[in-house]
Amino acid sequence: GAGVSQSPRYKVAKRGQDVALRCDPISGHVSLFWYQQALGQGPEFLTYFQNEAQLDKSGLPSDRFFAERPEGSVSTLKIQRTQQEDSAVYLCASSLTGRSSGYTFGSGTRLTVV
C-alpha cells in the first residue's frame, strides 16, 4: 500500500481481555517498529523487527505483550489480560533500512481498557 496501515483505529477492551493490533507496513520495508504513546507523552519504544526477526524486544513492558511478524510483512502486537495501564496509542512505523530517520508512521491504534 501507499502508507503504513494500522487496524483497528480504536479498540475498547474490558480489563482482562486479550487484544491483537495489526500493522501493515509499506511493501518492501525491511524494518518495523512498535511504539506505545500514553496520553500527554511522547512515544516509547516497544520492539523492532528486521524482516521476520525480532531483533529487539527490550521495550515490551511485561510478558503480557507479544509481537510477531512471521512472514516479514504484516505484524501483530498482542496484549494478553489487558490492564488499565495498557491504555495508550500504539504506533507502528516501517523503514526501508534500519535508520529511524526513514520512519513512516501509521495512524496508530487507540486502545482503551475499561
Residues near other proteins (CB under 8 A): 3, 31, 33, 40-45, 48, 56, 91, 93, 95, 98-101, 103, 105-108
Minimum CB separation from other proteins for residue 17, in Å? 27
CB of 11 to other proteins, least distance (A): 18
CB atoms within 10 A of CB 50: 16
Closest to other proteins by CB, 60 or 93: 93
Cβ of residue 43: shortest distance to other proteins, in angstroms? 5
The amino acid occupying position 55 is: L
Q: Based on CB atoms, which residue is closest to other proteins, 3 or 16?
A: 3
CA distances from 114 to 12, 40, 111 (A): 7, 19, 10
C-alpha cell at 39: 496520553
- Least Å distance, CB 90 to other proteins, is 13
DSSP 58: T
Contact criterion met (CB below 8 Å) for 67 and 54: yes
Residue closer to other proteins, measured from CB, 79 or 89: 89
- 72 with 62: CB under 8 angstroms? no
Q: For other proteins, which is the closer residue by CB, 48 or 79? A: 48
